[in-house]
Structure 1
Amino acid sequence: MKINDIDMRRWKEYDDIITDSLWIFPARDNTGAHTPEYHGNFIPQIPRQAMLRFTRRGEWVLDTFAGLGTTLIEARRLGRNAVGIEINGEIARKAMDLVENEDNVYNVETRIIVGDSTSEEVYEDLGNFQMVIMHPPYWDIIKFSNKGGDLSASQSLDEFLNKFRRAVHLASQHLDEERYLVLVIGDKYSKGEWIPLGFYTMREVMDEGFTLKSIVVKNIEENRGKRGQYALWRYRALKDGYYIFKHEYVMFFVKNS
């Protein structure tokens, strides 16, 4: 089964596709409709790389935590149909405005569902997808809303993981067998303890019937929470005995047949 548009007879020509497990990007791609204004957006290069490697033009991609539509914009650029689920109605409307500002050269379909990705009714009218991309909140680092299904509103780690697994379970019902689920997540630090959200959520996905194919580590040069405050964070790290976050995980899973 062919799951991308790569012609292996011309494999040397695909310089834009990364095959290493360390991704270092000097800057976020803010061209076209992309915007960094939403705190928590991931960089467009991540869904772009994922879709180039593991989808074909004309196929369908589902983003269960759509935010301002980063995945949807990249999908439109690459000729992939895409559906996003976003719990915040105001953000969803802004995302769709941004998507519509991106040229639809390949005449693909793009839509956003305002709803809770942990709720079964959100998926009722959806067909099958050839990729699922999940960039959930990193628990309560950024609180996006007070809605019950919002992972960032979870009061405990167990609640966060239960909600996340519910979203994985529901989305996976619409993912074709032997196709990819891509998880983008970082860890958190709380009360002197490193909380390995990446590895906790990795296990939840695997327990839902997926095989882990790769873990990519992506660098973070500077995020909005630390912008212009590196000296302060370095002081805190030296004082309290920890290391400053400079990475996120991009995990690639295949749905078992």
Structure 2
Amino acid sequence: MRLVTFNEYLEYAKSCSEIVIEDTKIHVGKPHRIEAYQPEEFSLETTTVWSFPDRGDWATHRGDYRGNWSPRVARNLILRYSKPGELVLDQMCGGGTTLVECKLLGRNAIGVDINYEACILALDRLNFNCNQPSSDWKEPDIKVYHGDARNLDLIEDESVDLIATHPPYANIISYSKQKKIEGDLSQVYNLEEYLRGMREVAEESFRDLKPGRFCAVLVGDTRKHR
């Protein structure tokens, strides 16, 4: 793991105003002006089947990072399984959906991604002033690291209050399509190899998580034969 600082993000943006995820170019480097800090209508899900009217586009949430999870999922998990000031981990943070929700909801957070450009994008999505109407909201401590979810060596044992993450569905979307990244699970074409990698992720997650707390992982079906 290596910390990617906000200043490093700004320096990156000076020389390169866009990043490429899969085949999509996404502009970075400018502070975001926020029109809405939360969804217009929101209530916690109370059943085992969650259904939303849309994916959600408040704050800096966008659908341009293909395959990222809906901020409505992240918001439900964070509100239900953590408290303000607690620590949330997303060790496959991608474009930073979980981290943005942590900032809005006052949770400290650690985001990790094996793709450096995803780390830059996550910091870009966090580049906004959070003028919250709630008087008890406090600016959380959110850090982004370039690293592998199977080796979170800078995170102490049993230090995380909630893990909320959305790993790649094997090789359905190749997030490092433009350049091969060693260890990228979205580049694994063998299902057994992918499952071995995810087992290592699970073992590392168990080490990081406080006893009795929750780990939420959103995964999709993988078909071996079509």
Q: Which band: TM-score by shorter chain?
A: 0.7 to 0.9
Say if 2:75 is the partner of 1:44.
Answer: no
- Does the CA-based 8 Å contact 1:123-1:170 persist in structure 2? no
Corresponding position of 2:103: 76
Look up the match of 2:164: 133
Residue 148 of structure 2 is matched in structure 1 by 116
In structure 1, what residue type is equivalent to 2:192?
D
In structure 1, the residue corresponding to 2:43 is in which secondary structure? coil
Partner of 2:194: 160
Q: Which portions of structure 1, spanning 4 or more consecutive aligned residues, are displaced by more than 6 angstroms?
A: none
Following the alignment from structure 2 to structure 1, what is the Cα–Cα distance between the partners of residues 200 and 58? 34
Q: Structure 2 vs 1, CA of residues 140 and 116 (structure 1 numbering), >3 Å: closer, same or farther?
A: same
Mark the structure with the bigger radius of gyration: 1
Q: Quick check: which one's strand share is greater?
A: 1
Tell whether the 8 Å contact from 2:83 to 2:107 is kept in structure 1 after alignment. yes
Asked if 1:18 is matched to 2:45, the reply is yes
- Aligned residue number for residue 25 of structure 2: none
Q: Which amino acid aligns with 2:57?
A: N
SS at match of 2:223: strand
Q: For 2:217 and 2:129, how far apart are their aligned partners in 1?
A: 25
- Percent of aligned pairs with the same residue? 32
Supply the distance in 1 between the matched residues of 2:156 and 2:69 (Cα, whole angstroms).
25
Displacement of 1:148: 2.6
In structure 1, what residue type is equivalent to 2:76?
Answer: Q
Residues 170-216 of structure 1: per-residue CA shift (max 9 Å, x gap) = 12211100000001011133442xxxxxxxxxxxxxxxxxxxxxxxx
User: For 1:190 and 1:143, how far apart are their aligned partners in 2?
Assistant: 17
1:49 and 1:43 map into 2 onto residues whose CA distance is 10
TM-score, normalised to structure 1, is 0.65
Aligned length: 176
Taking a change above 3 Å as real, the CA distance of residues 24 and 102 of structure 1, as seen in their structure-2 partners, is farther
Shift of 1:108: 0.5
Letter in 2 for 1:141: I
List alignment gaps of at least 5 residues for structure 1. 1-14, 193-257
| Number of the residue aligned with 1:93 | 120
Q: Which has the higher contact order (CA 8 A, sep 6+)?
A: 2
Match of 2:17 in 1: none
CA displacement at 1:102 relative to structure 2: 5.0
